[in-house]
Each structure stands twice: as structure tokens, then as C-alpha cells.
A and B are shown apart, each in its own frame.
Chain A
């Protein structure tokens, strides 16, 4: 049979008489074996079936709220018995039920799933236990501490673990003992698992993109359920990542953005993609390089470079770029009046020109009306013919270039029209550089 020493026999008998389960009795007496311990194997099955790639995991276990009541009853009894021996015992001197459960089951889960349990892991397995038989065990608390149990909107029951804990902290020992047996009575069944969820924390992929099409929006352009333009920058890049990382969804962000009809040349614009609940997360730099190649081979409208995995914190660098860093552009400008080279030369000498831009009419429907002061740091002109010239400009972040050229009904001042005293319009615009030095350049 099971080895129990003579000294332990009366302890075992006392515990047995209170209804303590035999497994716990053996544990308590230091009899160490795993076999009687039931691991919720359905959890392991679900984890393995979920298709996640993971090298460690964090286990979140939820016990039924009423278990805290039973735990409290046991604690009161222990305190009482210790008191009889003139020994005092603080709540923190005892081991919480959940801690003990973790100590026992973590190694078992680890062994079964083949990976260590790590509190910092991004892969979370959450398990919720329920015990329908004893659900009403905590209901008496509502009568004694009603303000702990206020109905919250989306919760099915007011008896949440937090609410029950709060009430147990408030209730006086005598009141508790009147309502609940110490030690608690023995239930017929064990807890059952009602919910198992596996989720992986988001991973981030960053890079820089070039845009070579004048007919491609940044994000899908859909009005009243109808797609107005085929595809988008974010889809052309993210769709491949979504597949390879086996993620549920993505969030695309970039350091500023350009209009549908504007190309992005030079080193490209920094972007970062958050892949939500990825099932695959480990990639070598070689694999990432191949992924980049795959994206680049799939479309000539966009190209990406410096594709790499980054941390969540790194995203801050990119957004900082959006507001603070300079950008350079190249614009093809038409003038109504015939011009000679000398008519545009003066623009080359203008440095740090301050302009006031009212919110352009073309975005006023979705942006607040305001005046933004921006700086055109420098300009360089290239004469084309009597009615055209190319203008290169280096500007502060957040400058509306098109409006600086045509003036937007005089709502951007000064503008090329007012500076040259002509009617000017912009025929083409290219982003030549986005002066943000993130993400780190990779040598391909």
C-alpha cells in the first residue's frame, strides 16, 4: 500500500475525518508521487492542436470564485488550531491554494508540452475552472457585504473572484463562521475545465517601403462597401506577413504617409506592422530576407527593404519621425504665365521660409480647422520649359506640399503662386526622402 509512517497515522486519520481528500493527505505527510495527480490533459491537447509555435509559455489559471471561500474557511481553522498552541500565524505565512497548484502542475505541464513555464512568455495559455456544485457557496457574502457585489455591465454573475476576495477581507471572522462550515464540507466532484484559450502576444515587423505607383492608396479605399482602387500599400506588404506568421490580423503604421498619386522614392518610408496572435514567431534573419524577397517579387508597385523583427518599444522611433523629422520632395510644376530661368532662380535662395497653412479643403471634412505654421527649409529649381519647372524642397514634417504649390484658394500663405505672381499647379509629386534613421539599415 502507500507508505505512511506511524507518526503520520493519527494526522492522516484526523484529516480524513474532516473530509480531506486522500491525495492531499499523502502530500501533507510528505509522500511524494505524481501518479494520483490528475493533469487536465484536455488543456495539453488543446495547446498541441492549436498550431502555435512556442518555446515557453505562461499559464493563467482561474479558479472558481467560491474556492476562495473554502480556502478562507480552511485558513480560519488552521489559525484557530495554531492559536491553541500559542502560535500566531499570518495570512502570508500560508501558501495560497493557487501557488500550491502551480508548484505541482507546472512541472507536469512542462513535461507534457516539452517547454518551460516562464512568466514573461508571450505565449499564454489560460484555463478557467468551474465547479457548478458549489456555485452558491459564496452567495451568503452578498447579504453581509452588499456593496462588494455591484452588477457590472458585461459580467454574467456579480460573484467574480475580485468581488468575493474583497468581501472575504471585509467580513468578520465570527460572521463568516456562522454562515460557512470550518472546515468546509467535502464536495462530490472535482473542478472541471470550462475554458481553454491559447494566444500569442503580438510581434512586430518593421522596414521601409518604396511606392512606385501613382494609383495606390496607403490603406484600402472602400466607400459604401465598394472598393474604389485595387489593393493598397499595407495589403501588398502585410498580406504576405499575415500568411507566414499565421496571425489573426495586422495593424499597419508608418512614419507619415503619401497620397494615392504620390510616389515614394529614395530610401523609402519607415513602417511597422503589428501581427496579432501570430502562430509562428521564430524566424532566422535569412528567412526574413527571403520573406522580403517574396514581397518584392510579388509586386512592382511597392518594394520593401530592411525588413526585420522589432520590439513594441521600437515603434516609438517611427512615430517620433512622423512629427519631428524633415522630408524632401520633388514636384513638377505648371505655370499659366510663360517663365524664363531667371524667373525661378530666386526660389533657390530662400531658406527656412515660414508658411501658414489652413487645413486644406481636401481634408477639411475629417480634420479640425486650424492654421499650421510650417517651414520650407530649402528649395532647388530645375527649369523644364516656359510653363514647367521641377522643384525640389526640403520641408518640416507635416507640410502639405500640393497646397504650398497651388495655394489652396489662398489659404496657404505664402505659396508658389504668390511668390512668383503666377497661377501655378502641381502635376506630379514624389517623396525623395523621409529623414528618419529607423529601422536600422541592413546590408543586403
Chain B
């Protein structure tokens, strides 16, 4: 929202005169090559109220090179489905607790490849995105908003520490540059 009500509306601007929803309320964090797997990059958006949203980073394999997603499953093991997560009350009791490497979902592509998406932050699982179950293409069309994977509520005491193992926007961009250089060097 505009800070000064008198800000003139920028006419015919493709970019708004003010930061986007994500830039206004969230800080971007990244984890590259999650679980040692090349280019399986995740993005964590942390709201100023400490809530985290786990998404695919724009550089994730699934979002590259015209991959087609066949289906997405939240059944991460025989006994555990993220869809069964039930949260009640103001204190969100009953939520599944996630560690950084806890699996959130599995993405199955038409080329037979299977990708596991991890939480990247510790905390209580609030919800997983059921919209992408019904329409997996949203994940590729709108990976940074509607294609989110999950919402996680970290413990109050850990709100700051959970991002210690993550990359800032700047650090992430440097990693991307290094990756491109490495690729061009070997080719």
C-alpha cells in the first residue's frame, strides 16, 4: 500500500509505483541444490509475522526446459500424507512438525523423473497447496505465488534462526552466477 496518500498514480506503468505484495510483506530466502541434488532450488518467503511459505525457486529443474508435470502427490510415505494435516485453534495444535529436510510432496514428470520438495524450515505445517493437485500447471505458470507448496509456522523462539541455513537474495544470485560459469566452463 502507498505510504503517502498523495502519491500520484503512475500512469500506464507496467510495473506498479509501489513494491509487489511479496516485496511488501515478505523476505526472500533460498536453498540451492537441496539434499545435494543439483538445481533442485527452493525459495522460502518469510512474512514479517514469521510465517514461511515454501515454493520452488525459479531456477528449479521442474521449472526449466519445458518439463511437463504428470502429477503431484502429498503421500510422502506409507503412513504419512501431508493432506491429512489438521490444524486447530489459535495455537495450531495437531499440526505435523517439520524439520528442514522433511519432505512436503513428490512431483512426477512425464519424462519419468521424480522430484521431492523439502520444507527447508523447521516448524508446524499449516497447509499444503491443494490447488496444484488439481491443476499441476499452476506450479509452472505461477511458481512464486499461486504455485506455492506449503505454509509453515516456525516456533516463536526460532523465527530468526530458521533462516540461518538459507541464502539471501544476493547470495542466491551469486550462486546462480557461479553455476552458470561452471556450466559454461565445462561445455
Contact = CB atoms under 8 A, between A and B. Distances in A.
Interface stretch (A67-75, A78-86, A98-106, A364-372): A364-372
Q: Which 6 A-B pairs have the closest CB atoms?
A: A410-B146, A261-B1, A365-B49, A334-B16, A369-B87, A385-B11
B50 interface: yes
B80 interface: no
A367 B1 CA distance: 22
Given A361-B151, A385-B12, A387-B12, 6 more contacts: A214-B1, A332-B9, A362-B47, A364-B51, A369-B127, A385-B9
18 contacts: A214-B1, A262-B1, A336-B14, A361-B25, A361-B53, A362-B49, A363-B49, A364-B49, A364-B51, A365-B47, A365-B49, A365-B51, A365-B153, A368-B89, A369-B87, A387-B13, A409-B145, A410-B146
A203 to B, nearest CB: 32
Nearest to A413: B131
Interface stretch (A133-141, A248-256, A341-349, A426-434): A426-434
Interface of A: 214-215, 259, 261-263, 332, 334, 336, 338, 358, 361-369, 384-388, 406-407, 409-410, 423, 425-429
Contact of B4 (A214, A332, A386, A388): A214
Contact of A429 (B1, B11, B87, B89): B1
B2 interface: yes
Given A332-B9, A388-B9, A425 B53 contact: no
B88 interface: yes
A387 B12 CA distance: 6
Interface string B1-28: 1111100011111101110110001000
Contacts of A364: 49, 51, 126, 151, 153
Contacts of B50: 365
Contacts of A263: 5
B148 interface: yes
B90 interface: yes
How would you classify the secondary structure of chain A's contact residues: helix, strand, loop or mixed? loop
A410 B127 contact: no
Contacts of A365: 47, 49-51, 153
Contact of A361 (B2, B47, B88, B90): B47
Interface in B64-89: 87-89
B117 to A, nearest CB: 16
B92 interface: yes
Contact of A427 (B2, B126, B129, B148): B2
Contacts of B25: 361-362
A426 to B, nearest CB: 7
Interface in B101-124: none
Contact of A425 (B4, B13, B16, B129): B16
Nearest to A429: B1
B9 A409 contact: no
Contacts of B129: 409-410
Interface in B141-168: 142, 145-146, 148, 151, 153
A364 B17 CA distance: 28
Nearest to B24: A425
B183 to A, nearest CB: 31
Given A362-B49, A367-B90, A384 B148 contact: no
Contacts of A410: 129, 131, 138, 142, 145-146, 148
Given A368-B89, A388-B9, A425 B2 contact: no
B136 to A, nearest CB: 14
Contacts of B138: 410
A385 B17 CA distance: 14
A366 B92 CA distance: 9
Contacts of B9: 332, 384-385, 388, 427
A21 B77 CA distance: 89
Contacts of A407: 145-146
